[in-house]
Amino acid sequence: MAWILFVDDDPYALEIYKRAVEIFGHRAIVTGTGKEALALAREYNPDMIFLDMRMPDMSGFELLGYLQDDEEIAKIPAVMLTASNHFENEELAKKAGAVAFIQKPIHIDEMSKLIDKYSSFGVNEQQT
């Protein structure tokens, strides 16, 4: 079982992501802001993070930077999500530290493959 943190300002998207990973046997942590995402990443040390490129308090690029600057959470694989079709953002996201860049709407099978590929499926002491 993996713990997945989802960061998106769309509450409907968060609910879909949460339900999808629970179907796969994982647990979801959800938030709509980058600031709260940082706090949750530090608290839960999730196995993986999916983050939207646009949030109300910061961009996904900014959040990736903050994640990368924190030794405790820098190792967590992050996937950038976007509704934008600007392909130059994919290169920027990967340079910022994202392991993958996918366009919305996310196909559930694609999400599952990314979780299988990048998450450690580790059990964090805080969550047991």
Residue-wise pLDDT for 8-34, tens only, equals 999 999 999 999 999 999 999 999 999
How sure is the predictor about 62, in pLDDT bands with cuts at 50, 70 and 90?
very high
Instruction: Look up tokens 């968060």; give the residue.
Output: 14
Contact 64, 79 (CB under 8 A): no
Question: What span, in angstroms and rounded, lies between the C-alpha atoms of 83 and 93?
Answer: 14
Half-sphere exposure of 35 (CA within 13 A, CB side): 3
Average pLDDT, the chain: 88
Q: Is 0.85 topped by the overall pTM?
A: yes
Domains parsed from the chain with CATH numbers? 3-120 (3.40.50.2300)
Q: How confident is the model at residue 122 (pLDDT cuts 50, 70, 90)?
A: very low
How many whole angstroms separate alpha carbon 73 and alpha carbon 44? 10
**86: how many CB neighbours lie within 10 A of its CB?**
9
